[in-house]
Chain A
């Protein structure tokens, strides 16, 4: 014989449809033999249906936009933390290298190496110190990005093909921005001109798209 607690537990599982077919059959047989339990089951079933009818299945999240933007800001901060940790690891490797460079025999070897390197640099030009594109992605499939280095212009070029032209009647007014101040709490950046006057405020909406506020 089951205790009232066990019967209630079974009743809840039966109402929630959590019983196996065998358990369900056994419990329904119990219900037929126990009018009091059957009445309680009918009452709870009625209550459950009423609740389902009157309560929405989903509730809107209050201030969803702000919530989303804060999560995005936090994710961005975590990514930057990871990048900084990787940078610090490389700095410690550099400090070990510096210790090795302080050894006495190094200076003679370094002078010879400098002569050779200087000669080579004059011959082939400075290949390092050139801006490089590591990867690029154009979300719009009609736009293509082509990358190359122009030694004549001494510049790296990222050419975007397939862009929609800007209408001729649309004026483009430029700024001369000298300084910016980020505001972590507001997730925005204020841009200033040379005299310290505010030119505009950059922020992002819930979708991460930039918003120019002034």
Chain B
């Protein structure tokens, strides 16, 4: 009886049936692999992004001021809605007729980390929060950098709608001006 069973099993193992078994095994393996590795339900949960604490928000821009309009660079940067009168205000302080935004940066002021306001590679600002001032302003330590050289270090209390104009270096018959303003906290 036992020998008969063995003979029958061997008889079934023709090359054709063996090939079918291998194909079926491969198919099942592929199915299992696909569903275990790529199914969205089985994916590991993404690491939750912890948003760093902030003390406020600042808007910074690098402005090119010049008298001859033909010397403007043709930058496409536009002033934000709340700064539509920026050119007129700058003209009250700086002796130029034309003001052009070269770059701008809206930046959260991180509570635990330094923040950078980088409207251009050439002139940018490092901001360290010192918390909220007694009068509600944003107490900051600022450093104006020109590439690898710090131009000025300053402690300032910034208020919304009261920008800080920093008169920078001369460039191409004009002057570069850094504008920094605190934005109301959302």
Which residues of the other chain, B, contact A155 by a CB distance below 8 angstroms? 89, 93, 162-165
**Closest residue to A168 on the B side, CB-wise?**
B172
Interface segment out of the listed B16-24, B29-37, B40-48, B125-133: B125-133
**Closest residue to A210 on the B side, CB-wise?**
B145
Given the complex of chains A and B, what is the CA–CA distance between A163 and B121 in angstroms? 18
Beta-carbon contact of B171 and A166 below 8 Å: yes
Beta-carbon contact of A131 and B151 below 8 Å: no
Within 8 A of A (CB), among B111-127: 111-124, 126
- Of the residues B110, B130, B167, contact of A160 by C-beta under 8 Å: B167
How many B residues have CB within 8 A of the partner chain?
75
A69 contacts B by Cβ under 8 Å? no
A178 contacts B by Cβ under 8 Å? yes
How many A residues have CB within 8 A of the partner chain?
59
Beta-carbon contact of B159 and A129 below 8 Å: yes
**With A131-B163, A172-B73 as contacts: A154 and B120 at CB distance below 8 Å:** no
Beta-carbon contact of B152 and A137 below 8 Å: yes
Which residues of the other chain, A, contact B89 by a CB distance below 8 angstroms? 153-155
A71 contacts B by Cβ under 8 Å? no
A112 contacts B by Cβ under 8 Å? no
Q: B residues near A, CB below 8 A?
A: 52, 62, 64, 73, 75, 77, 89-90, 92-93, 101-108, 110-124, 126, 128-132, 134-137, 139, 144-146, 148-173, 176, 182
Q: A residues near B, CB below 8 A?
A: 76-77, 79-80, 83-84, 86-87, 90, 128-140, 143, 145, 150, 152-161, 163-166, 168, 170, 172-180, 182, 184, 189, 191, 200, 202, 209-210, 212
